[in-house]
């Protein structure tokens, strides 16, 4: 399993980092088998697997439950776990305690926090020994204020994001996720930092990419964001398979001889 210094070495060598969200044992197992560099147990699990309307409803218990399943499915892959909404926005002491708790209970390799306002928490958590992944640009936990749209679209906002990124690196963040920002800005941030940047809707001039498992496989998703490319269609394949099962049962085609246990247990 790679370490922080090895991620930095990949950046220096120009080797792209691959990351995908995983929320359970099967998705983690598949991702590890596919050779994924990193897994993100994202709070997006609220919408993708729990049916919530946003990430705001996700609890610490949800994150711990799913992260443990992911770790069992991918024991040898670097795992980053999201801090859920409201668990790191109060006083710094309580916030850091929550970070330490999530890190300890999930066997995570790093914990991810969104937004520049959590800078003091990142600093303290790193000092306590927790590798932290920062997240700037579009931060899904704040979409009630920002909306789901491109961020930092003005020069002033772009310059501020660059300063925020430098500040995150300065307090010890190991990696930086950049979401839904102009590609030229993402490139400038990447060039300004020594830590790797992971993009989602941030163009190709970053150090790595992350996508949601359910998006890239079209699994239960109705509409894909602009920045997603689908690599499979589980929606169609899944419905086709289930429909075939329904048809087989209705028409007494399943179970057949090959799927039936045979042994005489009653006398004629």
Query: CB within 8 A of 137, min separation 6: which ones?
Result: 151, 152, 161, 177, 178, 179, 180, 181, 202
Query: Among candidates 211, 153, 210, 208, which has minimal Cα distance to 185?
Result: 153
Is the separation of the CB atoms in 151 and 137 below 8 Å? Answer: yes
Q: Is 114 one of the annotated binding-site residues?
A: yes
Query: What gap in Å lies between CA 48 and CA 45, rounded to an integer?
Result: 5
Q: Is 29 one of the annotated binding-site residues?
A: no
Q: Is 174 one of the annotated binding-site residues?
A: no
Query: What gap in Å lies between CA 126 and CA 172, rounded to an integer?
Result: 6
Which residue has tokens 């030229």? 184
Which residue has tokens 């006398």? 267
Whether 179 is catalytic: yes
Quick one: residue 112, left, alpha or beta (phi over 0 = left, psi -120 to 50 = alpha)?
Answer: beta
Choosing from 97, 179, 240, 268, the catalytic residue is: 179
Query: Among candidates 117, 147, 140, 139, which has minimal Cα distance to 55?
Result: 140
Q: Residues comprising the binding site for Mg(2+)?
A: 43, 82, 114
Give the residue ranges of the annotated binding site. Answer: 43-44, 82, 112, 114
Active site members: 179
């Amino acid at each position: 399993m790679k370490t922080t210094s090895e991620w930095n070495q990949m950046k220096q060598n120009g080797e792209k980092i691959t990351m995908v969200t995983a929320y359970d044992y099967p998705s983690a197992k598949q991702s590890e088998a596919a050779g994924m560099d990193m897994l993100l147990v994202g709070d997006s699990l609220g919408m993708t697997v729990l049916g919530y309307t946003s990430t705001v409803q996700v609890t610490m218990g949800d994150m711990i439950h799913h992260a443990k399943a992911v770790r069992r499915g991918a024991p040898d892959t670097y795992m980053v776990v999201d801090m859920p909404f409201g668990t790191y926005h109060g006083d710094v002491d309580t916030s850091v305690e929550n970070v330490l708790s999530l890190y300890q209970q999930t066997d995570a390799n790093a914990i991810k926090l969104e937004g520049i306002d959590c800078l003091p928490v990142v600093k303290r958590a790193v000092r306590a020994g927790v590798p932290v992944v920062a997240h700037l640009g579009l931060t899904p936990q704040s979409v009630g204020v920002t909306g789901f749209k491109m961020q930092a679209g003005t020069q002033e906002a772009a310059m501020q994001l660059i300063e925020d990124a430098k500040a995150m690196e300065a307090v010890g963040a190991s990696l930086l996720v950049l979401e839904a920002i102009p590609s030229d800005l993402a490139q400038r941030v990447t060039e300004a930092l020594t830590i790797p940047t992971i993009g989602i809707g941030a163009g190709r001039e970053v150090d790595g990419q992350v996508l949601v498992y359910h998006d890239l496989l079209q699994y239960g998703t109705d509409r894909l964001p602009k920045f997603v490319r689908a690599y499979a269609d589980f929606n169609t394949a899944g419905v086709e398979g289930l429909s075939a099962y329904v048809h087989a049962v209705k028409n007494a085609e399943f179970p057949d001889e090959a799927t039936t246990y045979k042994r005489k247990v009653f006398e004629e």
